[in-house]
Amino acid sequence: MNASLSGKKALVTGGSRGIGRAVALTLARAGADVTVCHLTENEAALTLARELKDVPGDHRVVRVDVRDRDQVRELVEDCRTRGGLDVVVNNAGVISHVPFGDLGEDEWHRIIDTHLTGAFLVTQLALPLLGPGSSVVNIGSRAAMVGIPTRSHYTAAKAGLTGFSRSLCKELGGRGVRVNVVDPGVIETEAASAMPPERYARLRERYEELTSLGRLGEPDEVADVVLFLASDLSRYVTGASIPVDGGI
Protein backbone atom coordinates (compact mmCIF):
# COMPACT_ATOMS: atom_id res chain seq x y z
CA MET A 1 0.00 0.00 0.00
CA ASN A 2 1.29 3.48 -0.79
CA ALA A 3 0.09 7.07 -1.11
CA SER A 4 -0.30 6.93 -4.87
CA LEU A 5 -3.52 8.47 -6.21
CA SER A 6 -2.89 7.18 -9.70
CA GLY A 7 -6.17 6.82 -11.61
CA LYS A 8 -8.10 8.82 -9.01
CA LYS A 9 -9.96 12.09 -9.47
CA ALA A 10 -9.94 14.81 -6.85
CA LEU A 11 -11.81 18.06 -6.27
CA VAL A 12 -10.17 20.72 -4.08
CA THR A 13 -12.23 23.77 -3.14
CA GLY A 14 -10.46 27.06 -2.49
CA GLY A 15 -7.31 25.77 -4.10
CA SER A 16 -5.94 28.87 -5.80
CA ARG A 17 -3.61 29.72 -2.93
CA GLY A 18 -2.51 28.81 0.56
CA ILE A 19 -3.33 25.38 1.93
CA GLY A 20 -5.66 24.49 -0.97
CA ARG A 21 -2.97 25.23 -3.52
CA ALA A 22 -0.50 22.97 -1.68
CA VAL A 23 -3.17 20.25 -1.48
CA ALA A 24 -3.96 20.51 -5.20
CA LEU A 25 -0.30 20.24 -6.20
CA THR A 26 0.37 17.42 -3.73
CA LEU A 27 -2.60 15.34 -4.92
CA ALA A 28 -1.71 15.98 -8.57
CA ARG A 29 1.93 14.96 -7.98
CA ALA A 30 0.62 11.80 -6.29
CA GLY A 31 -1.10 10.93 -9.58
CA ALA A 32 -4.66 12.27 -9.21
CA ASP A 33 -6.48 14.29 -11.85
CA VAL A 34 -7.29 17.43 -9.91
CA THR A 35 -10.09 19.97 -10.29
CA VAL A 36 -9.53 23.12 -8.29
CA CYS A 37 -12.15 25.76 -7.65
CA HIS A 38 -11.72 29.23 -6.24
CA LEU A 39 -13.76 32.42 -5.89
CA THR A 40 -12.23 35.43 -7.65
CA GLU A 41 -10.20 36.09 -10.77
CA ASN A 42 -6.65 36.45 -9.50
CA GLU A 43 -3.00 35.97 -10.37
CA ALA A 44 -2.60 33.11 -7.88
CA ALA A 45 -5.16 31.02 -9.76
CA LEU A 46 -3.42 31.65 -13.10
CA THR A 47 -0.08 30.71 -11.55
CA LEU A 48 -1.53 27.49 -10.15
CA ALA A 49 -3.03 26.60 -13.53
CA ARG A 50 0.44 27.03 -15.08
CA GLU A 51 2.05 24.93 -12.34
CA LEU A 52 -0.48 22.15 -12.79
CA LYS A 53 0.28 22.08 -16.53
CA ASP A 54 3.74 20.76 -15.61
CA VAL A 55 2.23 17.85 -13.65
CA PRO A 56 0.98 14.91 -15.75
CA GLY A 57 -2.80 14.45 -15.61
CA ASP A 58 -6.09 16.10 -16.46
CA HIS A 59 -6.14 19.14 -14.15
CA ARG A 60 -8.11 22.36 -14.26
CA VAL A 61 -8.70 25.48 -12.24
CA VAL A 62 -12.18 27.01 -12.35
CA ARG A 63 -14.07 29.82 -10.66
CA VAL A 64 -16.92 28.49 -8.55
CA ASP A 65 -18.48 29.98 -5.45
CA VAL A 66 -19.04 27.05 -3.06
CA ARG A 67 -21.97 28.95 -1.50
CA ASP A 68 -23.90 28.81 -4.75
CA ARG A 69 -25.81 25.57 -5.33
CA ASP A 70 -26.15 26.09 -9.10
CA GLN A 71 -22.45 26.77 -9.58
CA VAL A 72 -21.51 23.74 -7.46
CA ARG A 73 -23.98 21.56 -9.37
CA GLU A 74 -22.37 22.60 -12.67
CA LEU A 75 -18.90 21.93 -11.26
CA VAL A 76 -19.85 18.45 -10.06
CA GLU A 77 -21.57 17.68 -13.36
CA ASP A 78 -18.36 18.60 -15.14
CA CYS A 79 -16.45 16.26 -12.80
CA ARG A 80 -18.94 13.52 -13.65
CA THR A 81 -18.37 13.93 -17.39
CA ARG A 82 -14.62 13.72 -16.77
CA GLY A 83 -14.91 10.34 -15.07
CA GLY A 84 -16.27 10.98 -11.57
CA LEU A 85 -14.68 11.75 -8.23
CA ASP A 86 -12.77 9.76 -5.61
CA VAL A 87 -11.54 12.54 -3.36
CA VAL A 88 -13.25 15.74 -2.21
CA VAL A 89 -11.30 18.27 -0.16
CA ASN A 90 -13.51 20.98 1.35
CA ASN A 91 -10.95 23.68 1.97
CA ALA A 92 -12.49 26.96 0.70
CA GLY A 93 -12.42 29.54 3.43
CA VAL A 94 -12.19 33.17 4.37
CA ILE A 95 -10.61 34.75 7.39
CA SER A 96 -12.56 37.29 9.37
CA HIS A 97 -11.86 39.04 12.67
CA VAL A 98 -14.80 40.92 14.19
CA PRO A 99 -15.42 41.58 17.89
CA PHE A 100 -18.58 39.71 18.84
CA GLY A 101 -20.52 42.88 19.75
CA ASP A 102 -19.91 44.26 16.25
CA LEU A 103 -20.59 41.04 14.37
CA GLY A 104 -23.40 41.69 11.88
CA GLU A 105 -25.63 39.00 10.44
CA ASP A 106 -24.18 39.46 6.94
CA GLU A 107 -20.69 38.67 8.13
CA TRP A 108 -21.95 35.79 10.29
CA HIS A 109 -23.64 34.27 7.21
CA ARG A 110 -20.66 34.93 4.91
CA ILE A 111 -18.40 32.90 7.17
CA ILE A 112 -20.88 30.12 8.00
CA ASP A 113 -21.90 29.86 4.34
CA THR A 114 -18.38 29.66 3.00
CA HIS A 115 -16.98 27.13 5.48
CA LEU A 116 -20.00 25.08 6.45
CA THR A 117 -22.74 25.46 3.85
CA GLY A 118 -20.08 25.24 1.13
CA ALA A 119 -18.89 21.88 2.48
CA PHE A 120 -22.51 20.73 2.74
CA LEU A 121 -23.33 21.68 -0.86
CA VAL A 122 -20.15 20.30 -2.39
CA THR A 123 -20.32 17.02 -0.47
CA GLN A 124 -24.03 16.46 -1.02
CA LEU A 125 -23.92 17.22 -4.74
CA ALA A 126 -20.74 15.13 -5.18
CA LEU A 127 -22.17 12.20 -3.22
CA PRO A 128 -23.64 10.33 -6.20
CA LEU A 129 -20.12 10.22 -7.69
CA LEU A 130 -18.45 8.87 -4.55
CA GLY A 131 -18.11 5.09 -4.57
CA PRO A 132 -16.43 2.64 -2.19
CA GLY A 133 -12.89 3.76 -1.36
CA SER A 134 -13.73 7.46 -1.78
CA SER A 135 -12.49 10.00 0.71
CA VAL A 136 -13.87 13.34 1.86
CA VAL A 137 -11.42 15.55 3.72
CA ASN A 138 -12.72 18.65 5.45
CA ILE A 139 -10.30 21.36 6.49
CA GLY A 140 -11.29 22.42 9.98
CA SER A 141 -9.20 24.43 12.42
CA ARG A 142 -7.54 24.08 15.80
CA ALA A 143 -9.20 27.42 16.55
CA ALA A 144 -12.56 25.63 16.81
CA MET A 145 -11.25 23.55 19.71
CA VAL A 146 -9.67 26.32 21.73
CA GLY A 147 -11.72 29.38 20.75
CA ILE A 148 -10.25 32.66 19.52
CA PRO A 149 -11.40 36.19 20.41
CA THR A 150 -13.02 38.05 17.47
CA ARG A 151 -13.59 34.79 15.59
CA SER A 152 -16.80 33.44 17.11
CA HIS A 153 -18.38 33.07 13.64
CA TYR A 154 -15.34 31.29 12.21
CA THR A 155 -14.94 28.91 15.13
CA ALA A 156 -18.67 28.15 15.07
CA ALA A 157 -18.39 27.22 11.38
CA LYS A 158 -15.29 25.08 11.93
CA ALA A 159 -16.76 23.32 14.99
CA GLY A 160 -19.86 22.68 12.88
CA LEU A 161 -17.68 21.08 10.25
CA THR A 162 -16.43 18.58 12.82
CA GLY A 163 -19.96 17.50 13.81
CA PHE A 164 -20.95 17.40 10.16
CA SER A 165 -17.99 15.14 9.35
CA ARG A 166 -18.59 12.76 12.25
CA SER A 167 -22.24 12.29 11.33
CA LEU A 168 -21.39 11.79 7.67
CA CYS A 169 -18.72 9.26 8.61
CA LYS A 170 -21.43 7.15 10.25
CA GLU A 171 -23.94 7.69 7.48
CA LEU A 172 -21.59 7.01 4.57
CA GLY A 173 -19.37 4.32 6.09
CA GLY A 174 -21.71 1.60 4.84
CA ARG A 175 -21.05 2.63 1.25
CA GLY A 176 -17.29 2.71 1.80
CA VAL A 177 -16.93 6.49 1.81
CA ARG A 178 -14.59 7.86 4.48
CA VAL A 179 -14.94 11.35 5.97
CA ASN A 180 -12.20 12.99 8.02
CA VAL A 181 -11.15 16.41 9.25
CA VAL A 182 -7.73 18.02 9.25
CA ASP A 183 -7.36 20.74 11.86
CA PRO A 184 -4.45 23.06 11.07
CA GLY A 185 -2.89 25.32 13.66
CA VAL A 186 -1.46 28.57 12.32
CA ILE A 187 -0.15 27.96 8.82
CA GLU A 188 1.82 30.56 6.91
CA THR A 189 -0.56 31.63 4.15
CA GLU A 190 -1.73 34.96 2.81
CA ALA A 191 -4.87 34.63 4.90
CA ALA A 192 -2.98 34.12 8.14
CA SER A 193 -0.60 37.01 7.51
CA ALA A 194 -3.40 39.35 6.33
CA MET A 195 -4.18 40.30 9.91
CA PRO A 196 -2.77 43.58 11.26
CA PRO A 197 1.07 43.25 11.28
CA GLU A 198 1.50 43.79 15.03
CA ARG A 199 -1.15 41.15 15.73
CA TYR A 200 0.52 38.71 13.33
CA ALA A 201 3.91 39.35 14.97
CA ARG A 202 2.38 38.65 18.40
CA LEU A 203 0.69 35.51 17.12
CA ARG A 204 3.91 34.25 15.56
CA GLU A 205 5.81 34.85 18.80
CA ARG A 206 3.11 33.11 20.80
CA TYR A 207 3.08 30.13 18.46
CA GLU A 208 6.83 29.81 18.62
CA GLU A 209 6.40 29.45 22.38
CA LEU A 210 3.21 27.37 22.37
CA THR A 211 4.02 24.75 19.76
CA SER A 212 6.22 21.81 20.64
CA LEU A 213 8.02 22.31 17.34
CA GLY A 214 8.52 26.02 18.04
CA ARG A 215 7.25 27.42 14.74
CA LEU A 216 4.25 28.07 12.48
CA GLY A 217 3.28 25.45 9.90
CA GLU A 218 3.70 25.36 6.12
CA PRO A 219 0.87 24.62 3.65
CA ASP A 220 2.75 21.53 2.40
CA GLU A 221 2.69 20.10 5.91
CA VAL A 222 -1.11 20.19 5.87
CA ALA A 223 -1.22 18.88 2.29
CA ASP A 224 0.79 15.78 3.20
CA VAL A 225 -1.77 14.83 5.85
CA VAL A 226 -4.58 15.40 3.34
CA LEU A 227 -2.73 13.10 0.94
CA PHE A 228 -2.60 10.41 3.62
CA LEU A 229 -6.36 10.75 4.22
CA ALA A 230 -7.09 10.79 0.49
CA SER A 231 -5.05 7.67 -0.19
CA ASP A 232 -5.58 4.02 0.65
CA LEU A 233 -2.93 4.30 3.36
CA SER A 234 -5.76 5.58 5.57
CA ARG A 235 -8.33 3.00 4.38
CA TYR A 236 -9.45 2.23 7.98
CA VAL A 237 -9.49 5.87 9.12
CA THR A 238 -12.83 7.67 9.17
CA GLY A 239 -14.50 10.12 11.51
CA ALA A 240 -11.06 11.30 12.64
CA SER A 241 -9.91 14.84 13.33
CA ILE A 242 -6.18 15.14 12.83
CA PRO A 243 -4.47 18.22 14.26
CA VAL A 244 -1.62 19.59 12.17
CA ASP A 245 -0.43 22.20 14.62
CA GLY A 246 3.15 21.50 15.61
CA GLY A 247 1.98 20.06 18.92
CA ILE A 248 0.27 22.89 20.76
**Site residues (vs ligand NDP, CB under 6 A):** 13-20, 37-40, 42, 44, 64-67, 91-94, 114-115, 118, 139, 141, 184, 186-187, 189-192
Nearer to ligand NDP, 115 or 153 (CB): 115
Would you call 236 a catalytic residue per the annotation? no
Cβ neighbour number for residue 178 with a 10 Å cutoff: 24
In whole angstroms, how close is the CB of 42 to ligand NDP at the nearest point?
5
Q: Provide the total of helices (H) and of strands (E) in the chain, helices listed first.
A: 10, 7
In whole angstroms, how close is the CB of 214 to ligand NDP at the nearest point?
16
Q: For 183-222, b where at least 16 C-beta lie within 10 A, e where not — what string? A: bbbbbbbebbeeeeeeeeeebeeebeeebeeeebbebebb
Nearer to ligand NDP, 31 or 184 (CB): 184
Q: Angle formed by the axes of helices 118-126 and 152-172, to 10°?
A: 20
Q: Which residue is nearest to ligand NDP (CB)?
A: 18
Cβ neighbour number for residue 71 with a 10 Å cutoff: 16
Separation CA 246–CA 162 (nearest Å): 20
Nearest to 111 by CA among 89, 95, 133: 95
In whole angstroms, how close is the CB of 235 to ligand NDP at the nearest point?
25
In whole angstroms, how close is the CB of 137 to ligand NDP at the nearest point?
11
Nearer to ligand NDP, 1 or 43 (CB): 43
Nearer to ligand NDP, 154 or 168 (CB): 154
Residues marked active site are found at 154
